[in-house]
Each structure stands twice: as structure tokens, then as C-alpha cells.
Structure 1
């Protein structure tokens, strides 16, 4: 196992000091190789030393302007700092440079969500869901964006996909409850609100939704 692989293995094992020492050695031995800077940036980002991480990512980009993963790292930091527009540009750059992974498309979609540009988020969240069909969080966020642009039936289908992956996903059940209520299916709505509360008893939105449906059904039955 070479030094880089060993350092990454240390990171995965949460042996961060050992990983940092190896990455420093790699950079010293290969100062013109952007990979060492990117990996050290990843480590610094992991421990939330964002300013230092940015310095390493920018050094990597200076050495290789096509370093897609450095742009991805920068995007992650900007996103964590609620700088959605800067994050958006960084993730887009990473994709333009050939990064074709679910995470980068998901994060780009989320930057548009953060800016309430739900329609713009859709193609990226959809692509992310295609690249990783078993990621329930990607699917859930895709469903939310669909619901925000009134693609209710498509959102409903996606939320059901989430439930198929994890029948304890309280937020997916809640949103299916809202959709069922919107589509005048109060009994179905109540079932989903109950499922949401079974999975998460303190889900306040589901508590309120259930109360409203029960009041409606009581009035209707009366």
C-alpha cells in the first residue's frame, strides 16, 4: 500500500493525526502534485478547519486548473457556510470538469434548493437519483423539489420510492400524508401521518396534520 492509500485508510479509520502526517510527507515529497493538497484539504474539511482546507484546495487548482475534486471540496465548504451561490458555482465547475458522481449532482441540486430555485434543482437531483438509486436522502430531496413546483403525482411516486427503501422515513410519510390530503384521500392521509409518528413520535408537523384529518373525519362522519 502506497503512502496516499495508507493515509486515506487512516482517514477512514478516523486516525486523523496519522493521516495528516502522511499527507504532509506526500506534499513535501511531491510538491507539484495536486492530489496531496486535495487529500489534505479533505482531511481539514472533515475536522472543520475550513480556512486551511480552502488554502489547500486553491493550491491544488493552481497546480491543475482541471482538478475537479478540489472544486467539489470548495463547494462543500461554501455550502456548509451557507454561501449557496458560491457553492453552486464550485459544484458546477466540478461537473464541467468531468466529475460524474451522485454526490456532486446532489449537492448542486441542494444549492438551488437553498436559493428556493426548485425548478433549477430538479435535473441535478434527478441525475443524482439515477446515479445512486438506493440513496433515500437524494430521492427524498428530489421529491421535495417536485412538490415545490407542483409536480404532485411525480413527487408522490418518488416519496413512495423512499418508503420502499425505508418504511420508517417519517418525512416521506408526512409528505405523502399532505399529498393524500390535497388529493382528498383523508383516510390515506391519516395512515401516513400515523406512520410518520410511529417512526418519529415528536414529528410536530405530522401531529398537526393528524389532528386536522381526525377533526375533518369526525365532522364528516357526524
Structure 2
């Protein structure tokens, strides 16, 4: 009988002990005590810090503990201690890994929770103090994520930094972002990380904070324009771009954004002045000359179709001039050679349409003479185009358009062996392969 009572008593005591171990509130307190033990002797009690982390995370799975300010404060202090220890070790050996993805962010979120739930003055003060201590680590880990191109994670860290500043400012406590210029720079970096992570709503929010200050730099207008464009707000994007261009007329980023907008909308006439301004600012930018040449090329084709011969000739000559200027910057610019060839090729194609428009059943001497004259002009234009395509192929033997042009010109010239050569090279590319060498040499 006594033996049975002893066994029953042992079972009751054991169950109570297990219940004590699993009690979430007690786990929270045990986590706090483990952190205190670690702080008394960090060198010898590293295991206590890991114990504290494990217990507080387990405790906070319970709803009753989630409502305790002290539990969130404890969690913030534990994660803050972890990140401080590990960043100190990294300062001695940069190869030291971090145990968590961003324990500074974990600490901040816990302190923030404690701060928002606090009803007593000392609770708010303790939470704000913890937030102030974690700021520099939010910066450091955010930069680490940015350098790894983990832009969303960088944004999360910098976003917490901005929020930490707002809390500290409200409490009239010192913050890393007290300097207005530093604060403005951090707002921009945070917006940029959100934009790079395609978090467009967040990016727009931070860009707007800068914009609404009234002294936003050109980069803010550029970023806001891009974000609004990405979100499909074309009207808002163009309004911001127009305002930015008026405020910063010489800014290259905004100028190029406007050029791309005009290209997208096909507003060729408005592009010329903007491209010429861009060339003045970047006289060695090859793509600007090719783009301006292409604009004039398109204007030439438009005027030629409308039979405005004088304007067509003017635009043709301007296109040729800018393509040639591109080659003065880089004499191996395949795009410029191709564009020059295409300029003459397209002119020949337009004359071919004129040839086809002649009466097919009129064999009069005048019609035959006209036919022969146009045919001669077409072949002369193909002959002018050919050297440019040859040079383009010599630089890039795997450009589909260049190979098509060469094949068709040689076919027109009845040089079938050469036409077949470039057809074969074209088939290699269309089959997913690459031509190892060019046919022509520079």
C-alpha cells in the first residue's frame, strides 16, 4: 500500500514538473533568467544564450504569452544580444557566419511589439532603449543584403530602421538618422531597395515621402516615374517626369527616361531635340547617335511614303550622318554598319514598290525605259548597302537580320552561290547553333 502511494505521488510530482516545463509563462521567465546567466559570464555561458532563444520562441507560440509586454521585451533583448555578439565576432573575423538571417530585424520587431503594447512608462522606455541599441545592426545587415542583391531583405532591414527612427523621435531619444541629410539618404536607399525588389507600393510610399518635402533630388523623380510606370499609372508617371524635367533640365537620368517614353509612344519629332541634348551631355555615347540616326531613318520612311521628296531626302541624309558619327566613335559598331546598310536597303525596297506599280501589260518604249531606270536605281542602292552588311557580318556573324539582308541582296544580284552561303549560315542560327567564324573580314 505504501509502495503504491509512493508511486502515485512520484507520478503526480513528475506530471507537475513536466507541466511546469511546458508552461508558456514559465518558459518566458526561464528565457529571461537564461539571458541573465549569459550576461553574467558571456565567455562561459554561450549555451545559455541559445537556451534563452529556444525558450522564448517556444513560449511566444502561446496566445497568453503573446499578450505579455515582458515576453516581447525579453525576446528583443535576446535577439539583440545574439546579433551584437555575432557582429563583434565578425569584426574579428569577417568570415564568421551569422546564425540567423537577420536577427537585428527579429529584435526590432519584438521591441516594436513591446513598445506598441506597453501601458506603463518604464515598459515604453525599455522598448525604446532596445530599439536604439539595434539601429546600427539594421544598417549593417541591410547593407550586407544589398551587396548580395537580396533587395527585398535589404528593404525589410532598412524599413525597420526608418520605423525605429520614427519611434525614437517620438520619444525624443537619439537616433542614427537625426541628421536631416542622413535621414533623406536613408529614405531614398529604402525606396530604391523596394523598387529593385519590385515592391512598388512600398517604393512609391518612400519616394513620395521625399517628393513631398519639396526639395527632392532628380533621382527621386526618376524613381517615382519608373515605379508609377511599372504600376500602370501612365498619367501620374508622365506628370512626375514632366515636373522633374522642368526642375532638372540637364539631368541625364530624367532625359533618358523622357527619350525612352517618346520612343515607346512613337513621337519621333519630339525626340530629336532631346537626343541632341543627350549627345551634348554624353558626346561619346554610341547608342545615342544610333538612336538619333534611327529616328531620322523612321522620319525619312514616313516622308517617302507620303511622297514628300525634299523632306525625305533631308531626313535620309541626317540618318546617314548620325550613323556615320557612331562609327567615328567605334569603327567596330556592328549596329551602326547594319543601320547604314538597312538605310539603303529600305530605300531600294521602296523603289521596288514603285517598280511593281508600273502597268504590267504596257510594253511601250516609255514604260520599258522607266522600268529599266528604276531597276538600275534599285541595284545601285543594293550595291551601296552591301559593303555595310558585309562589315556588320564580319563583326557579328550570328546576327539574323544581317544574314537575311546578305542572302537577299546576293540573290537579287544573281550571285546564287553567295546567296546560298548566307542561307546556310542563317539555318545554323535558326537551328539553335552559332557560326564559329565570319565569312567577311574587316
**For the superposition of Structure 1 and Structure 2, which TM-score range results when normalised by the shorter chain?**
0.7 to 0.9
Cα displacement (A) at 1:49:
3.2
The alignment partner of 1:192 has SS state of helix
Contact 1:156 1:176 in 2 (8 A): yes
Contact 2:241 2:254 in 1 (8 A): yes
Contact 2:249 2:255 in 1 (8 A): no
Gaps of 5+ in 1: none
1:72 correspondence with 2:222:
yes
The size of the alignment, in residue pairs, is 212
Which residue number in structure 2 is paired with residue 211 of structure 1? 407
- CA–CA distance in structure 2, aligned partners of residues 169 and 116 of structure 1: 25
The alignment partner of 1:218 has SS state of coil
Q: Deviations over 1:56-93 (max 9, x none)?
A: 11121122265432111122334556766654433222
Structure with the larger RCO, 1 or 2 (CA within 8 Å, 6+ apart): 1
- CA–CA distance in structure 1, aligned partners of residues 214 and 185 of structure 2: 10
Which residue number in structure 1 is paired with residue 343 of structure 2? 179
Which residue number in structure 2 is paired with residue 168 of structure 1? 332
Give the alignment's TM-score, normalised by structure 1.
Answer: 0.77
- CA–CA distance in structure 1, aligned partners of residues 394 and 229 of structure 2: 32
Contact 1:122 1:142 in 2 (8 A): yes
- CA–CA distance in structure 2, aligned partners of residues 82 and 161 of structure 1: 37
- CA–CA distance in structure 1, aligned partners of residues 233 and 337 of structure 2: 31
Residues 190 and 144 (structure 1), Cα distance of their counterparts in 2 relative to 1, 3 Å cut: same
Cα displacement (A) at 1:201:
2.8
1:156 correspondence with 2:320:
yes
RMSD, aligned CA: 3.3
Contact 2:292 2:322 in 1 (8 A): yes
1:54 correspondence with 2:218:
no
Contact 2:158 2:190 in 1 (8 A): no
* Bigger Rg, structure 1 or 2: 2
1:126 correspondence with 2:276:
yes
The alignment partner of 2:212 has SS state of helix
Equivalent residue for 1:40, pick from 177, 186, 190: 190
Residues 51 and 193 (structure 1), Cα distance of their counterparts in 2 relative to 1, 3 Å cut: farther
Q: Deviations over 1:102-135 (max 9, x none)?
A: 2321220110110111111221122111111111
- CA–CA distance in structure 2, aligned partners of residues 82 and 140 of structure 1: 29
Equivalent residue for 2:294, pick from 144, 148, 164: 144
Give the alignment's TM-score, normalised by structure 2.
Answer: 0.42
Gaps of 5+ in 2: 1-135, 166-176, 301-314, 349-379, 416-442
